Structure 1
Amino acid sequence: MRKLQVQGVHHITLTGADRQTSIDFWEGVLGMPFVFDQPNLDNPDEGHLYFDPGDGRLITIFTNETRKADRRRTPTDPGCVHHLAFNVSRATFLQVEARLEARGIGHSGPKDRGFMDSIYFKDPLGLLIELACYKFEPPMGCTHADVMIEAHRRRVAAGDHHIQEVHLADAIEHLVEMRQQSLSSDRLPKNPYV
């Protein structure tokens, strides 16, 4: 038996309401460029809109002019999507509350998740959206996942409840030490001020 190794998210497709609601939210609120438009090839009564969330991957929406937006929370039963999270810069994150409030969009307020900050709100169809901002930048040549797994190991070893900034900082230091060579034979911390 062999795995079917994936290499990232190709796209996520959501069932939307009418075309304009989708464009107004995904591009008009979240700033995702509307990059492709064609019929749903499996259902001629639907459109298929494509948006770039900022990393070249795609969020696609099936639209139908007979469907209307329903703002009630989407189901959270087993097998349902709980929420979608999108990365934003620190500069943008610091503006999210005010910008949502300027549009009259309710939100959770900022949430400290230890390794990131988040804010939640619903799209016009009741899907929970999270805007997240990492508290760290991974070292050159590493990914956020590399830092997360090392920070997790350090959190577990310390017996801490959840990842905190100290775990992230120590994980980054460890990854730099492992990935970047040095001419020094002793890379332990030093105090040059004594």
Structure 2
Amino acid sequence: MTSSNPKFELRGINHLALVCADMKRTIDFYTGILGMPLIKTLDLPGGLGQHFFFDCGNGNTVAFFWLADSPDAAPGIAAPKGRPDEGELASAIGSMNHVAFAVPPEKFDEYRARLEAAGVEVSRILNHDDSPQGVSKDVHAGTFVRSFYFQDPDGVLLEFACWTREFTEADVAHEPRTAADRKTPSAS
């Protein structure tokens, strides 16, 4: 998939910075289980914490802060409480909902099995399509991406995804919603 940006020559994601509770446990998961090489480590000035970078392919990185004064996790606010296949998708405006890593379609099923074998709880496979349900049991001509979800030790929602077809102009067909369209939380 390629895209042309006439305003800026963007080359992907340099890094996505997340926050963890335990840097050693994060290294164990991202390097030990997902195989991402740890490529840069920093101690932040003044005892603030640490900032570590993992190579996630094609020059892109996922980074983690360990901050000495981070508040506790806030599932359902800062990130989803669980996985989409469990009906959990909501997170607050400005939050990071999930990170989707691109994987080769021919390795998709193998990678899911490897994570399961490593003891990682994974979702069912979702064949995303344009049906009213948004997913189908089987891959068909309308399926545009296959994915499954799992969480890291801090509850960060992760996804392995592979595109299944090229996009066309017909794939951009929805009127964007505005802040006025939001459901306001009910007062308790």
Same topology, TM > 0.5: yes
Deviations 1:157-181 (A, max 9, x none): 8xxxxxxxxxxxxxxxxxxxxxxxx
The residue that corresponds to 1:154 in the other structure is 170
> Where do residues 144-183 of structure 1 align in structure 2 (5 Å cutoff)?
147-148=166-167, 151=168, 153-155=169-171
**Shift of residue 21, structure 1, vs aligned partner:** 1.0
TM-score, structure 1 length as denominator? 0.62
Larger Rg: 1
> Where do residues 36-185 of structure 1 align in structure 2 (5 Å cutoff)?
36-41=40-45, 44-64=47-67, 74-75=79-80, 76-113=91-128, 114-136=143-165, 147-148=166-167, 151=168, 153-155=169-171
State the alpha-carbon separation in 2 of the partners of residues 156 and 60 from structure 1.
Answer: 31
Deviations 1:56-105 (A, max 9, x none): 122111125797x9695635111111110001112331113322222332
Q: How many residues align?
A: 141
Contact 1:107-1:119 at 8 Å conserved across structures: yes
State the alpha-carbon separation in 2 of the partners of residues 85 and 130 from structure 1.
Answer: 4
**Shift of residue 19, structure 1, vs aligned partner:** 1.8
State the percentage of identical aligned residues.
Answer: 33
Q: Say what the alpha-carbon RMSD is for the aligned residues.
A: 3.0
Q: Provide structure 1 residue ranges, at least 5 long, that are not aligned to the other structure.
A: 137-146, 158-194
TM-score, structure 2 length as denominator? 0.63
State the alpha-carbon separation in 1 of the partners of residues 104 and 146 from structure 2.
Answer: 11
The residue that corresponds to 1:189 in the other structure is none
State the alpha-carbon separation in 2 of the partners of residues 135 and 64 from structure 1.
Answer: 39
Structure 1 runs of 4+ aligned residues shifted over 3 Å read: 64-67, 69-73, 154-157
Contact 2:51-2:65 at 8 Å conserved across structures: yes
Pick the structure with more helix per residue: 1
Contact 1:120-1:131 at 8 Å conserved across structures: yes
CA spacing shift, 1:71–1:124, aligned 2, 3 Å: farther
Q: Give 2:164's aligned amino acid.
A: K
Residue in structure 2 matching 1:22, options 9, 26, 29 = 26
State the alpha-carbon separation in 2 of the partners of residues 156 and 123 from structure 1.
Answer: 32
